[in-house]
Amino acid sequence: MTDFSLIETLRWQPDDGFIRLRLHLARLSRSARRIGFPEPLHAAAKLKEAVKGKHEPRRVRLTFDRQGHIDITTAPFVPLPPDTVWTLRISSTRLDSADRLLRIKTTRRGIYEAARAEFTQQQADEVILLNEREEVCEGTITSVFLDDGSGTLTTPPISCGLLAGVLRTELICQRKARVGRIRLDDLEQGTLYVGNSLRGLIRATLQKD
């Protein structure tokens, strides 16, 4: 397992610093231990250096490889308007719930790129993947959340074959979300959201035709 790097994508705000930094660093360290990478000891310092002198929101991408090398790039970040609603489509690509690398954010993204390529940007803002049991897993860049009216969001368990998203982890820790299996039909029984740490929670609708 030397043909990929770990990734963390963070949002930096001039007044707030890195959003969910502790959770991002914890996931990076946990992922490194699981696959035998060295401990990313200098990640926090390198992130701080990367935004030195910046005065506008930034999208910050950190990669960390088996040799312990950290690479960081930044780009301007424009938040979505609060009333944004994304259109979702279902991919024909299926995830293998037994693939443990799906639980770690890496540069091995071929399956997600294939799913995204099934639809144009005009057809879908995000594409949702199912596993071999037809259970909802995640989007190509987001976690999936379903509001059934109970006041607590439901999000698929990691065992379905998906990434432990940072926003997902935060919402579970805050008891704003709970883990539960979601079938395709369930997506029509409540209010649908997708989200990640960079963009937050986004209202969504499923387009099936």
pLDDT at residue 74 in the model: 97
How many other CB atoms are there within 10 angstroms of residue 41's CB atom? 10
Half-sphere exposure of 45 (CA within 13 A, CB side): 3
> Averaged over 166-180, what is the pLDDT?
98
DSSP characters over 10-45: EEEETTTEETTHHHHHHHHHHHHHHHTPPP-TTHHH
DSSP-based three-state secondary structure for 9:
strand
pLDDT at residue 208 in the model: 82
Amino acid 24 reads: H
Query: In the predicted model, what is the mean pLDDT of the chain?
Result: 96
pLDDT at residue 52 in the model: 95
Amino acid 150 reads: S
Please determine whether the domains at 6-76 and 85-206 fall in the same fold group of CATH: no
What CATH number is given for 6-76 in this structure?
3.30.470.10
pLDDT at residue 1 in the model: 54
> Averaged over 68-85, what is the pLDDT?
96
The 10s digit of each residue's pLDDT in 131-159 is 999 999 999 999 999 999 999 999 999 99
In this predicted structure, the answer to whether residue 188 has a pLDDT above a threshold of 90 is: no
Among candidate residues 100, 45, 38, 94, the one with its CA nearest the CA of residue 69: 38
pLDDT category of residue 2 using cuts at 50, 70 and 90: low
> Cβ neighbours of residue 74 under 8 Å, at least 6 residues apart?
12, 50, 51, 54, 58, 59, 60, 61
The 10s digit of each residue's pLDDT in 66-76 is 999 999 999 99
> Measured in Å, how far apart are the chain's first and last C-alpha atoms?
39
What ranges do the domains of the chain cover? 6-76, 85-206
Sign of CA dihedral 45, 53, 17, 104: negative
Pairing of strands 191-196, 200-206: antiparallel
> Averaged over 84-97, what is the pLDDT?
97
Pairing of strands 136-139, 143-147: unpaired
Q: What CATH number does domain 85-206 carry, 3.20.10.10, 3.30.1130.10, 3.40.50.1360, 1.20.1050.10?
A: 3.20.10.10
